[in-house]
């Protein structure tokens, strides 16, 4: 997959800007606060229909303007396609594929697949379980439209169930709906768990090889999938998982009604990450956490390739800073295939050999 051209119009600190890219490495360089991450964000938005920074769509519009757009010419499965997002201060954002308006962001799935590494990804190692569920969800949603649909339905029913558990004191009749919701949620959980367990196994296998090379053989990374009640989900089909999920749910039914919270289901999942058998969340150093996060992202990219026989576009924002020269060159060796966007400050440009295209960004303009 490649992004051939990107057109920005009043997006963030850009006004009108067109950039052409190579299908290999594109180095986005410049001083701080010039618009490097903004450019990565634009590509990410067209791939996923959302930004990776936690802001609303209106914040993407240049402060001095009322509307904005991002457009890209891409090649995916050997077909040329156009993706576009339009933003306005007084309307909802609009998405277009080949100039035809689409209804939902999910219709973008599979057109432009991206794997992003940004400095915030250290949270994968250090923060709570929700970040790691998001990692699984975003990767699996790009790979499997069926997963995306299951997850959306799960989230919708989870919200319903939470409302039942919270509001039943005022409206006791609501509890009659609980059993139906529980059954459906367990069925959906079984599907999500089935996909996640397989994905986590593959991720662990690949990321640990990458992390070992990355750390000169000194560190062994391990990722274990953890789901409700310590259940072993590996190599189990959804219908084999369902009875155990229903049992777990039944055991927690009274506690759920008392606490007003859903205590059983796939929303509790996590990935446990160990480096040399020690829990990374508690004990990893800054450098170890960064190395592990990059290894996980590179593994995610390999999984996409293995599945689709086409490399997803790799977006690396600020990956080189904080890495020693040896680890930097390891990253550069690993990104020889497929299209890559990598931001860095001007000093780091020399790290890249010929064959890469350097795009200097200055005050919202590509030079």
Nearer to ligand ATP, 210 or 340 (CB): 340
User: Taking Cα atoms as reference points, which of 272, 337, 255 lies closest to residue 125?
Assistant: 272
Which one of residues 13, 26, 34, 37 is an interface residue with Mg ion (CB under 5 A)? 37
**58-66, 73-81, 227-235, 240-248 -> range binding ligand ATP (CB under 6 A):** 58-66
Contact status: 69 vs Mg ion (CB under 5 A): no
Report d(CA 148, CA 143) in Å as an integer.
9
Contact status: 170 vs ligand ATP (CB under 6 A): no
3-state helix, strand, coil in the chain (%, to 5): 50, 25, 30
Report d(CA 85, CA 10) in Å as an integer.
12
User: Taking Cα atoms as reference points, which of 131, 117, 244, 268 lies closest to residue 186?
Assistant: 244
Indicate the residue whose CB is closest to Mg ion: 37
Report d(CA 138, CA 140) in Å as an integer.
6
CB of 160 to Mg ion, least distance (A): 39
Contact status: 69 vs ligand ATP (CB under 6 A): no
CB of 317 to ligand ATP, least distance (A): 7
User: Taking Cα atoms as reference points, which of 256, 271, 262 lies closest to residue 185?
Assistant: 262
Which one of residues 9, 19, 26, 30 is an interface residue with ligand ATP (CB under 6 A)? 30
Which one of residues 2, 26, 48, 62 is an interface residue with ligand ATP (CB under 6 A)? 62
Report d(CA 105, CA 85) in Å as an integer.
10
Report d(CA 285, CA 291) in Å as an integer.
10
- Beta-carbon contacts of 316 under 8 Å, excluding residues fewer than 6 positions away, are 116, 117, 331, 335, 340, 341, 342, 343
Contact 124, 293 (CB under 8 A): yes
Contact 359, 29 (CB under 8 A): yes
User: What sign results for the dihedral spanned by CA atoms 172, 177, 183, 187?
Assistant: negative
Contact status: 227 vs ligand ATP (CB under 6 A): no
Contact status: 138 vs ligand ATP (CB under 6 A): no
Which one of residues 26, 38, 48, 189 is an interface residue with ligand ATP (CB under 6 A)? 38
CB of 21 to ligand ATP, least distance (A): 17
Which one of residues 36, 148, 191, 248 is an interface residue with ligand ATP (CB under 6 A)? 36
Phi-psi region of 174 (alpha: psi -120 to 50; beta: other; left: phi over 0): alpha
What's CA 196's distance to the chain center, in Å? 14
Nearer to Mg ion, 37 or 295 (CB): 37
The count of residues interacting with ligand ATP (CB under 6 A) is 14
Nearer to ligand ATP, 118 or 266 (CB): 118
Nearer to Mg ion, 36 or 304 (CB): 36
Contact status: 279 vs ligand ATP (CB under 6 A): no
CB of 266 to Mg ion, least distance (A): 34
Report d(CA 222, CA 211) in Å as an integer.
10
Nearer to ligand ATP, 18 or 66 (CB): 66
Q: Is 156 exposed, middle or buried (0-12, 13-18, 19+ CB in 10 A)?
A: exposed
Nearer to ligand ATP, 30 or 49 (CB): 30
Contact status: 33 vs ligand ATP (CB under 6 A): yes
Which one of residues 34, 113, 141, 215 is an interface residue with ligand ATP (CB under 6 A)? 34
Q: Which residues bind ligand ATP (CB under 6 A)?
A: 12-13, 30, 32-38, 59, 61-63
Q: Which residues bind Mg ion (CB under 5 A)?
A: 36-37
């Amino acid at each position: 997959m490649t992004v051939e051209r990107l057109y920005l119009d009043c997006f963030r600190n850009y006004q009108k800007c067109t950039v052409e890219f190579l299908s290999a490495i594109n180095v986005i360089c410049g001083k701080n606060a010039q618009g490097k991450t903004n450019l990565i964000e634009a590509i990410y938005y067209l791939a996923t229909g959302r930004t990776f920074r936690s802001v609303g769509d209106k914040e993407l519009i240049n402060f001095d303007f009322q509307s904005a757009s991002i457009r890209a010419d891409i090649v995916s499965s050997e077909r040329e396609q156009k993706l576009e997002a339009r933003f306005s201060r007084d309307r909802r954002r609009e998405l277009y594929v080949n100039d035809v308006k689409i209804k939902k962001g999910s219709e973008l799935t599979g057109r432009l697949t991206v794997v992003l590494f940004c400095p915030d990804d250290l949270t994968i190692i250090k923060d709570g379980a929700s970040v790691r569920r998001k990692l699984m969800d975003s990767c699996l949603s790009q790979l499997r439209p069926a997963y995306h649909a299951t997850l959306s339905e799960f989230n919708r029913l989870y919200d319903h169930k939470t409302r039942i558990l919270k509001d039943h004191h005022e409206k006791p009749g609501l509890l009659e709906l609980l059993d139906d919701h529980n059954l459906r949620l367990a069925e959906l959980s079984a599907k999500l768990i089935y996909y996640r367990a397989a994905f986590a196994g593959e991720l662990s296998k690949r990321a640990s090889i990458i992390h070992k090379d990355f750390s000169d053989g000194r560190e062994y990374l391990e990722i274990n999938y953890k789901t409700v009640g310590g259940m072993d989900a590996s190599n189990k089909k959804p219908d084999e998982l369902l009875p155990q999920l229903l049992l777990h749910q039944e055991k927690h039914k009274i506690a759920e009604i008392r606490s007003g919270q859903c205590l059983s289901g796939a929303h509790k999942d996590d990935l446990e990450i160990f480096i040399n058998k020690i829990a990374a969340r508690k004990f990893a150093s800054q450098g170890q956490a960064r190395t592990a996060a990059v290894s996980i992202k590179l593994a995610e990219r390999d999984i996409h390739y293995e599945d689709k026989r086409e490399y997803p576009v790799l977006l690396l924002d600020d990956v080189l800073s904080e890495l020693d020269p040896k680890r930097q060159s390891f990253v550069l060796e690993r990104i020889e295939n497929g299209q890559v966007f990598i931001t860095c400050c001007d000093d780091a440009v020399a790290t890249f050999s010929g064959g890469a295209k350097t795009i200097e960004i200055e005050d919202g303009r590509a030079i």
